[in-house]
Amino acid sequence: MLLLPPPSLIEPAQVGSLTRGWKIAVIFTHLAIAGALLVLAISSRVVGKPTWWLGYEADPAFFLLLVLPFLGPIVVIITTVRISRLVPLAGIASTVLLAVTGVVDISRTPGVALGELVLAGCTAVATIAALAGRRRSVKVGL
């Protein structure tokens, strides 16, 4: 006989929430996207053509603009941990935020803008893939 904990101690599995494995995959994916954004920011500053949200060393951008592109991955990670059934919405918002950031950078730094747009595409693909890891309702009987 299999010993299971009492029902009150088992975490209820809500329909639409991510399974544990998919939660881990989404978190690692968005940590990698945030890391790639950081690499893009550093390389654009080193090359001397910083993005609009970084600004030049002599005239840096407003502090809140520095964290703007990182808000997408951060919100997706927090949503994954807290309310995983809302990950698709957070992923769409993150994709749009990164795409807008990339489009604004096209005239200023086209190479970095391409990287930002690729990361927006990665966010979109990760969001679509996470749909496969959602719990579904199971109907018993005919």
Spell out the domain ranges in the chain.
Answer: 16-132
> pLDDT band at 142, cuts 50/70/90?
low
Task: In whole angstroms, give the CA distance from residue 45 to residue 133.
Answer: 38
Residue 121 to residues 5, 43, 92: CA-CA distances in angstroms? Answer: 42, 20, 11
What kind of architecture, by CATH, is found in domain 16-132?
A: Up-down Bundle (1.20)
**pTM score, two decimals?**
0.83
For the stretch 32-58, pLDDT in tens is: 999 999 999 999 988 888 888 887 777
